[in-house]
């Protein structure tokens, strides 16, 4: 009996770190999918690794919505997320953070899209989602990446 109790305690203790890891890597449910946010600037730090590529974006000094944003072409694979409507609804963030953590796609999807490895200092723009009410950290889950004149749809595969 004592041995079984000890085993249960060990299993429970081993599961605690995993529970924290699962909570740290959040899904889409905590993001405001009705309010697409546009960010533009330079990559200050890039982590090209799994579970997804990530970068720190230093915002452009005078962040503005591009006048042609709603007319930009989106990949046909983004029909499931209605990319044209997202571009038309894009807004600037209301928070004043100059640096944002940007979560991109898993590396396998980045490779499928043939996204070049982003280097620190690279100029880029993104459309994505942040937390409800812009609460918490300045984090953007990228839906679209605008890089070197191309548009990449990060929640879909290119084929």
CA 13, chain centre distance (Å): 32
| Residue 90 DSSP label | -
- Reported pTM: 0.81
Please give the Cα distance from 159 to 106 (Å, whole number).
16
- Residue ranges of the alpha helices (H) in the chain? 2-24, 83-89, 107-112
Query: How far is it, in rounded angstroms, from Cα 28 to Cα 66?
Result: 26
Per-residue pLDDT of the chain (159 residues; tens, 9 = 90+): 454 444 344 444 444 343 333 334 446 578 999 999 999 999 999 999 999 999 999 999 999 999 999 999 888 887 777 888 999 999 999 999 999 999 999 999 999 999 999 999 999 999 999 999 999 999 999 999 999 999 999 987 776
Selecting from 1.10.10, 2.40.50, 2.50.20, 1.10.3470, what CATH number does the domain 28-153 have?
A: 2.40.50
């Amino acid at each position: 009996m004592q041995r079984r109790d000890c085993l249960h305690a060990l299993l429970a203790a081993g599961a605690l770190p995993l529970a924290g890891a699962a909570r740290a890597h959040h899904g889409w449910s905590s993001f405001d999918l009705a309010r697409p946010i546009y960010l533009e600037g330079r990559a200050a730090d890039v982590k090209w690794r799994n579970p997804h590529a990530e970068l720190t974006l230093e915002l452009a000094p005078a962040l503005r919505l591009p006048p042609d944003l709603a007319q930009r072409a989106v990949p046909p694979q983004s029909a499931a997320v209605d990319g044209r409507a997202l571009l038309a609804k894009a807004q600037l963030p209301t928070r004043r953070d100059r640096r944002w953590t940007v979560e991109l796609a898993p590396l396998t999807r980045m490779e499928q899209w043939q996204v070049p490895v982003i280097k620190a200092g690279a100029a880029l723009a993104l459309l994505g989602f942040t937390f409800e009410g812009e609460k918490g950290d300045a984090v953007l889950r990228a839906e679209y990446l605008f890089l070197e004149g191309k548009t990449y749809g990060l929640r879909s595969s290119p084929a």
